[in-house]
Chains A and B, each alone.
Chain A
Amino acid sequence: MTATFELILCVMILGTACVALFVRDFLTAIAFFVVFGNLLGLAWLAMGAVNVALAEIAIGAGVTGVLLVLTRSRLLALGEEIACGPARPWLRLGAAAACSAFTTLLAAAVLSIAPGDDLAPVVDGLMPRIGLDNPVTGVLMAFRAYDTLLESFVLLGALVAVWSLAPPAAWPQPPVALRMADPAALNVAGSFGRLLLPVALVMAAYLVWVGSDRPGGAFQGGTVLAGGFLLAAMGGAIGLPRSDDPRLRWALVAGPLVFLAIGLAGAATGRFLAYPDGTAKALIVTIEYVLAFSIGVTLALLVAGPPARAGTGP
């Protein structure tokens, strides 16, 4: 039963990926990409990786889908077609041959590795020392905290890079407003956004809190928060901030800064990013809450795009 389900799931994943890649109309492609992301989430669920399923559906399918739809409408407003003519036959044949060969090699490499959860017992043995029950949060926030710290700076760096694409005349202005143009849709999205933003706040706080013992965590919570912000902005319930607003700047750097500060404090007492005995859980939860807030604001602004001159855009 499980085997049949997983087989069908894999066929559906490959099918939706094919449609998302090769269908002619780009909006259809995005729709299939979102379906593809949700099916991948199901695959992670089938593997028992609920943390990854949450992240994949929220970030991989949700945020990426919104990004693609927004960029499509911006390009259309600029008068650019997103259709691309069929590639030359020899290019298609060559690409298909090269990619089949590459896939075969990759599949052979995959088959030569025996799947196994060799590190799970090691991580489980270390978990009591930090007082958490969710091993994935343990790896993210304690055993590989260095990766997570760098990742939070990568998000910040991506936002700085996106902002640097702003035209010179537009610099400290807010990004292009996300308000919907259609009054009826704006009305619906506005009331829905006002209703959902507090719910998203509570849900994000819950996901972060529960993440220390069950599936959840800072990234999942932050993404839910970003979703709430974006929907409220699309409905016109909240406006987008100017890029030189000091409160906004603090909100963006608070998470990485608190993480770095606690890491450096660990260096003063022992090792960098090591938590003193008995305080690990309190410190991790503190970092996660501030980090989730910063991630939420950063993701929402990443989707909104660079500052724009007033009166431009769709």
Chain B
Amino acid sequence: MTVPAVLGHLFPLTGAVLVGLGLCGFITLRHPLRQLLAVNVIGAGIFLILGGLGRGEGVTDPYPQALVITGIVVSVALTALGTAMIARLSEDRRAAGSGPDQPKDQDP
């Protein structure tokens, strides 16, 4: 499969736009969980840039592929730590009773 010259940059450019979108979301969204999702979108964009630029005539360069796999695993570790911290913060707020949120017994 030969890739036309114009299309060689298609996935890396998509990745660049994803980084921009994620950054915009990270700034404008005010809830930490949504910001964590935005960080994941930024990460996905960076992986697309890194891996997409390793795309050759026949195959994609295995070297960036391995780096991207490493990156995906590290980003899930980061997400897990982030969600645990957000949940702990929320528990502490509820225990302190200082937040505007009143504990509810039923899910909406």
Q: With A79-B94, A95-B28 in contact, is A55–B37 under 8 Å at CB? A: no
Return chain B residues, CB-CB under 8 Å to A116: 53-54, 56, 61
Closest chain A residue to B8 by CB distance?
A115
A79:B66 contact, CB within 8 angstroms:
no
Does A49 belong to the interface (CB within 8 Å)?
yes
A140 touches B90 (CB 8 A): no
Q: How long is the Cα–Cα vector from A154 to B84 in the complex, in angstroms?
A: 16
Known: A6-B10, A139-B65. A75 touches B73 (CB 8 A): no
- Which of A95, A117, A140, A305 is the one whose CB lies under 8 Å from B87? A305
* A149-180 Cβ-contact flags toward B at 8 Å (1 or 0): 00100110110011001010000000000000
Across the interface, do B29 and A84 meet the contact criterion of CB distance under 8 Å?
Answer: yes
A110 with B12, Cβ < 8 A, contacts A72-B33, A99-B21 known: yes
Minimum CB–CB distance for A45 against chain B, Å:
11
Q: Is B59 an interface residue (CB 8 A)?
A: yes
**Docked-complex contact B59 and A21, CB < 8 angstroms:** no
From DSSP, what is the main secondary structure of chain B's interface residues?
helix
Cβ contacts B70-90/A at 8 Å (1 or 0 each): 101111111111011111101
Complex CA distance for A76 and B31, rounded to whole angstroms = 13
Q: Which residues on B sit within 8 Å (CB–CB) of A64?
A: 40, 75-76, 79
- Given the known inter-chain contacts A47-B11, A47-B55, please indicate yes or no for A33 contacting B107, CB distance below 8 A: no
Given A115-B12, A139-B65, CB of A60 within 8 Å of CB of B17 = no
CB-CB under 8 A from B16, the residues of chain A are 103, 106-107, 110
> Whose C-beta in chain B lies nearest to the C-beta of A88?
B28
Interchain CA distance A22-B34 in the complex, whole Å: 9
A60's partner among B3, B19, B76 (CB-CB below 8 A) is: B76
Chain A residue contacts of B44, Cβ below 8 A: 17, 36-37, 40, 56, 60
Q: Which 4 A-B pairs have the closest CB atoms?
A: A117-B56, A103-B20, A158-B77, A135-B62
